[in-house]
């Protein structure tokens, strides 16, 4: 029997189709298909670090779905909440990569007319856990939005803390949107309903400015009624954090090489939840190391480190 999950990660599992550096993944070759999706990335990162974790999501009855089933089994995830969809395919996200490894989400492939499986997520019976990890992309479709909000309600009723990675991606809300656009008024209102309920909020700096008009995690904490823990990331710039009454900055670690930054934020989140019992500055330092190590390989899952690898890396940089 698998141990009860400490974290339940709910949301999308999908393919990141990485274009050639400087090219267009819709037309240029070669492309590099990698298993991804922020909640799936966090779940796999937690499992590799050694935290018992369950994944709740919906995949097509297709080769992508089978690849995730194999990956989750290999990592030892609890998949009792994994749904399969015979009508809708698993989602493929087109990821444009710059020559220095930065990425931009530009659209989707694989839709056969009925949408994608992750958009049709049914409500799940949430097990007792310490954390429910969610993003905001499930809010972009009515079916998955309903399932997400039901899970949040269950979590709050049974004392499970909610960890929210804002992870704003305009393309999921409007396939024709500029990938750099901020949230519409309607999307902002839906996401704010989650911000008001989370015990831990992780935002990129631009997301903090869009939603709070400040990138100061202490000010964001004070702006919300539940006074959550807040972490603001900014690419290669220092991470700023307010965890309870403690605050600080953590410089980003430089990996030996940067191949692809996809999944770095998700690895950071996995590291943060994995080390939650540690003092605040140690949680952030460990998380930052997880994020740095993922940049050394392609995709958001394959390069994820073990706890021993993170500790060895921290021993070299300290």
Residues 6+ apart with CB under 8 A from 125: 81, 154
Using DSSP's 3-state secondary structure scheme, residue 262 falls into: coil
User: What residue spans define the domains of the chain?
Assistant: 7-317
| Eight-state DSSP code of residue 84 | E
CA 136 → CA 27, 148, 284, 291, distances in Å?
Answer: 29, 9, 22, 20
- 14-18 sheet: strands from edge to edge: 32-36, 14-18, 92-97, 103-109
Domain covering 7-317, topology: 3.40.1190
Q: How many Å apart are CA 257 and CA 247, to the nearest integer?
A: 30
CA 256 → CA 20, 70, 308, 313, distances in Å?
Answer: 21, 30, 17, 11
- Is 16 in contact with 95 (CB distance < 8 Å)? yes
pTM: 0.95
Per-residue pLDDT of the chain (318 residues; tens, 9 = 90+): 567 899 999 999 999 888 888 888 888 889 989 999 999 999 999 999 999 999 999 999 999 999 999 999 999 999 999 999 999 999 999 988 777 766 777 789 989 899 999 999 999 999 999 999 999 999 999 999 999 999 999 999 999 999 999 999 999 999 888 888 999 999 999 999 999 999 999 999 999 999 999 999 999 999 999 999 999 999 889 999 999 999 999 999 988 777 777 789 999 999 999 999 999 999 999 999 999 999 888 778 989 999 999 999 999 987
Longest C-alpha distance within the chain, in Å? 52
User: Nearest-CA neighbor of 238 among 293, 281, 182, 267?
Assistant: 281
User: Nearest-CA neighbor of 37 among 165, 148, 160?
Assistant: 165
């Amino acid at each position: 029997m698998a141990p009860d999950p400490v974290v339940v990660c709910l949301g999308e599992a999908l393919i990141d189709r990485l274009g050639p550096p400087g090219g267009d993944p819709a037309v240029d070759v070669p492309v590099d298909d990698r298993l991804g999706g922020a909640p799936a990335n966090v779940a796999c990162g937690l499992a590799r670090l050694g935290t018992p974790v369950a994944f709740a999501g919906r995949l097509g009855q297709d080769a992508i779905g089978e690849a995730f089933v194999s990956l989750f089994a290999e990592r030892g995830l609890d998949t009792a909440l994994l749904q399969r969809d015979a009508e809708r395919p698993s989602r493929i996200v087109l990821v444009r990569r710059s020559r220095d490894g930065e990425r931009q989400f530009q659209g989707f492939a694989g839709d056969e007319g009925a949408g994608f499986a992750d958009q049709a997520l049914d409500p799940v019976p949430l097990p007792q856990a310490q954390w429910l990890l969610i993003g905001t992309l499930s809010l972009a479709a009515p079916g998955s939005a309903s399932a997400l909000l039901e899970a949040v309600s269950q979590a709050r009723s049974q004392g499970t803390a909610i960890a929210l990675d804002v992870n704003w991606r305009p393309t999921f809300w409007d396939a024709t949107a500029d990938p750099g656009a901020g949230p519409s008024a309607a999307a902002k209102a839906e996401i704010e309903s989650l911000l008001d309920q989370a015990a831990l909020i992780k935002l990129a700096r631009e997301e903090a400015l869009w939603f709070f008009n400040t990138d100061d995690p202490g000010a964001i904490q004070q702006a919300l009624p539940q006074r959550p823990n807040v972490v603001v990331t900014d690419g290669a710039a220092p991470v700023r954090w307010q965890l309870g009454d403690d605050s600080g900055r953590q410089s980003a670690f430089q990996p030996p090489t940067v191949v692809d930054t996809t999944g770095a934020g998700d690895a950071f989140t996995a590291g943060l939840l994995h080390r939650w019992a540690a003092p605040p500055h140690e949680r952030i330092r460990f998380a930052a190391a997880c994020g740095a190590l993922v940049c050394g390989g392609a995709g958001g899952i394959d390069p994820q480190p073990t706890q021993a690898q993170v500790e060895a890396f921290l021993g070299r940089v300290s």
